[in-house]
Amino acid sequence: MSITKLRSAIFDGLFAIWTASFAIGRLVLWAAGSPPGPIRAATRLWVRMALVGLKYVVRLRYVECGREFIPHEPCLIICNHQSTWETLAFLVLVPNVAIIAKQELLRIPIVSWYLRKSPMIIIDRETGARALKTMLEQSRAALASGRSVLIFPEGSRKSDVEPIRFRRGVELLYAKLGTSVLPVAVNSGKFWGPGQPYKRSGTIVVSYLPLISPGHPPAEFSRKAEAVLEAERTRIG
């Protein structure tokens, strides 16, 4: 076994133990009435330690560029989707974020309870129009409470060479929410991508880009946002 595969396997084992340790916290927080603030704090702790493990065990780090573009007010965040990494990391990168995620994420043992209660915006794409309605209603509620909303507009993880193409849900959110959009590009798929048998060492780049203002025709917004993310993804490799 290569050293890279060994480091990845060690991390996976430690991460499983770390995740299992949150079973006790779940019982305590449930008994306390499931308070959202402490649940979000516990979820961020889980992610922070995962990132520490990736850094020191796998030697997979990350750097951020352009944080000055993150607005002070809540917004809609769009990010290309290459890995499980960004689904977790955004809970730390933008601490008070509501992430639009697929139902499958709730299959993670123990932590699925934390993710549901944080709360994330969980959708079941099999329900079609009802999923879009739920996504829109919960996104509006999150913005009204001062939380930014994150969506991965490609819908599922893509390889680091596939062109960025949005699904229709992001156009609906842009048209109906009437808020600024923060594009974010990542290259996480080079190190922890779909179909890869193990995690690799390196440095993930998280690049925040200038805001896109509300009010453009939805199709025009999609074309512009796709082009911006594609260009930045190509630049950061």
Residue 18: C-alpha distances to residues 14, 22, 24, 37, 46 (Å)? 6, 7, 12, 21, 8
pLDDT cut 70: percent of the chain above it: 96
Convert the pLDDT of each residue in 120-152 to its tens digit: 888 876 666 787 888 899 999 999 999 999 999
Convert the pLDDT of each residue in 9-65 to its tens digit: 999 999 999 999 988 888 888 888 888 888 888 889 999 999 999 999 999 999 999
- What contacts 83, CB < 8 A, 6 or more positions away? 157, 186, 188, 189, 191, 192, 193, 194
Decide: 228 and 183 in contact? Cβ < 8 Å.
yes
Q: How many CB atoms lie within 10 A of CB 147?
A: 19
Q: Does the pLDDT at position 4 exceed 70?
A: yes
Mean pLDDT of 97-126: 77
Q: Does the pLDDT at position 175 exceed 90?
A: yes
Q: Does the pLDDT at position 77 exceed 90?
A: yes
d(CA 141, CA 71): 19
Mean pLDDT of 79-101: 91
CATH code for the domain of 70 = 3.40.1130
Q: Does the pLDDT at position 74 exceed 90?
A: yes
Grade residue 173 by pLDDT with cuts at 50, 70 and 90: very high
> 180 or 197: whose pLDDT is higher?
180
Which residues lie across from 186 on neighbouring strands? 206
The Cβ-side half-sphere exposure at 128, using a 13 Å CA radius, reads: 1
Grade residue 156 by pLDDT with cuts at 50, 70 and 90: confident
Decide: 46 and 114 in contact? Cβ < 8 Å.
yes
Which residues lie across from 151 on neighbouring strands? 78
Q: What are phi and psi of 222, to 5 degrees?
A: -60, -45
Mean pLDDT of 179-203: 92
DSSP state of 122: E
Residue 151 sits in which domain range? 3-236
Q: How many domains is the chain built from?
A: 1
